[in-house]
Amino acid sequence: MQIDAVELYRLALPLKKPLPAPHAGDDRLETVLVRLQSGELSGWGESTPGKSPRDSAEWSAGAFAVLKDWLAPAVVGRRIGSGGDLQNLLDVFRGNRSAKAALDMAWWDLHARQKEKPLHETLGGKNAAVEVGPTFDRMDSLDDFFAAIGSAFEAGFARVKLMFRPGWDIRMLEAVRKEFPRQTFHVDLEEALTIHHSEILYRLDDFFLAMVEQPLPADDLVGHAMLQEALRTPICLGRGIRTASHAAMALELHSCQFVNLSISRVGGLTTALAIHDLCHESCTPCYVGAGPQTAIAARHGYALAAKENCSYPAEYFPTAEILAADVADPLLPSRGEDGKRRIHQDASPGIGVEPNREVLEKYCVERMALGP
């Protein structure tokens, strides 16, 4: 397809509730939306690194700048026939995966609209509805924490992810397992430990967790392989899988038994699909992660979660509860006859929505347009 025009928007969206760590303290959700146009059709993507480089090396103002100065000019006016073609064009620019992801997502949305098919079908997804589960971090009291977890399971969510932090670690898990002995949990350590923290790491086997996510530093694939050999609990790699090459190496080393697919972290749907396929070939299941984002990025994530190997419930970030204004209608989970809460895919072409122009204009901090 010919990319006739590119539009960029950096937004600062108001909040109803504080964002989770590491974005806690931000008074707005900063994000970057990208629109690619080909003929009369357009596709939308989103870069969601946050207001500051605390979660990764990228941040929204930086993503907007690199898109404006380098990435968008590289694609406007070009004929791009596949996601691989787009990635090849962008490979000359190092890093900046979240910024690249926004262009890649927009290309896939546009491609799906041209085919007049929903995005999840265009990606080869098999599931018209995907199970989801929320994440809970440290709270002011255990009573509040237990109430939130209990409400999630009563609502029909399939699993709950717990953040594991200094002072909110083994004793927290002991309390949770005592209160919820049979429910499905996994924990995310966010690279907090090293292979030398064996006393803590081996205790994780006591809690019958679905997985333990990113216990060691992201680049320590050998350490994760050593740890996985010693643990009964499956290890999930998220931050440690940023490219298909990382995935291939981790799978070869047996560093993990699950992979968290983050579209923004890996540079787009094209790379996420490649990682998914590598994992599928090695019988290593995936799940789709998410962080603070708008309905645009969320719809892309749920479309990816429809893939056959995404067998663990996807991350549910409740945009309707946290954002005072969203750019589009979010997909909300509904409860089925079996009691499980799922997100049903939009049957419209692409991601199924166009952003609300009034919201874009009201909360736009920076914008740029290239092309006619």
H or E stretch including 370?
Answer: strand 364-370
Q: What is the spatial distance between Cα 359 and Cα 328, in angstroms, rounded to a whole number?
A: 9
What is the tens place of the pLDDT at every residue in 51-94?
888 778 899 999 999 999 999 999 999 999 999 999 999 999 99
Q: Which domains does the chain have, with CATH numbers?
A: 5-116+356-370 (3.30.390.10), 121-344 (3.20.20.120)
pLDDT band for 291, please (50, 70, 90 cuts): confident
> What percentage of the chain carries pLDDT values higher than 70?
99
Checking if the pLDDT of 21 tops 80, the result is no
**Predicted confidence band at 24 (pLDDT cuts at 50, 70, 90)?**
low
The pLDDT value given to residue 327: 96
> pLDDT band at residue 18, thresholds of 50, 70 and 90?
confident
> pLDDT tens across 345-368, in order?
999 999 999 999 999 999 999 999
C-alpha 200/C-alpha 169 separation (Å) is: 9
Helix spans in the chain (H)? 60-66, 72-75, 83-90, 97-115, 119-122, 142-154, 170-179, 198-203, 221-230, 244-253, 263-266, 269-281, 295-305, 319-322, 357-363
Residue 31 has pLDDT above 80, yes or no: yes
Residue 118 token pair: 């929903």
What gap in Å lies between CA 25 and CA 225, rounded to an integer? 36
Tell me the C-alpha distance between 127 and 124, whole Å: 9
Instruction: Please state, in angstroms and rounded to a whole number, the distance separating the CA atoms of residues 85 and 135.
Output: 35
Mapped onto helix, strand or coil, the DSSP state of residue 253 is helix
Hey, which residues does 250 pair with through a beta bridge? none
Return the pLDDT at 57: 82
Q: Span 264-290, mean pLDDT?
A: 96
Averaged pLDDT score across all residues of the chain? 94
- Surface-to-core class of residue 164, CB atoms within 10 Å of its CB (0-12 exposed, 13-18 middle, 19+ buried): buried
Name every residue whose Cβ is closer than 8 Å to that of residue 268 and which is 6 or more positions away in sequence. Answer: 45, 83, 86, 87, 97, 100, 101, 102, 103, 104, 105, 108
Q: How far apart are the C-alpha atoms of 68 and 368, rounded to whole Å? A: 7
Question: Between residues 342 and 371, which one has the greater pLDDT?
Answer: 342
Rounded mean pLDDT of 127-141? 93
Q: What is the DSSP letter of 122?
A: H
Residue 120 has pLDDT above 90, yes or no: yes
Q: pTM for the whole thing?
A: 0.95
Which pLDDT band holds residue 163 (cuts at 50, 70, 90)? Answer: very high
Summarised one tens digit per residue, pLDDT across range 202-235 is: 999 999 999 999 999 999 999 999 999 999 999 9
Tokens 């890649």 -> residue: 104
Closest by CA to 301, choosing from 51, 96, 111, 45, is 45
347: exposed, middle or buried (Cβ count in 10 Å: 0-12, 13-18, 19+): exposed
Token pair belonging to 372: 């006619």
For the chain, what's the residue count?
372
DSSP string for 213-224: E--S-TT-HHHH
Q: Is the pLDDT of residue 25 over 80?
A: no
One-letter amino acid at 34 equals V
Contacts of 23 by beta carbon, 8 Å cutoff, 6+ apart: 29, 50, 51, 54, 55, 291, 292
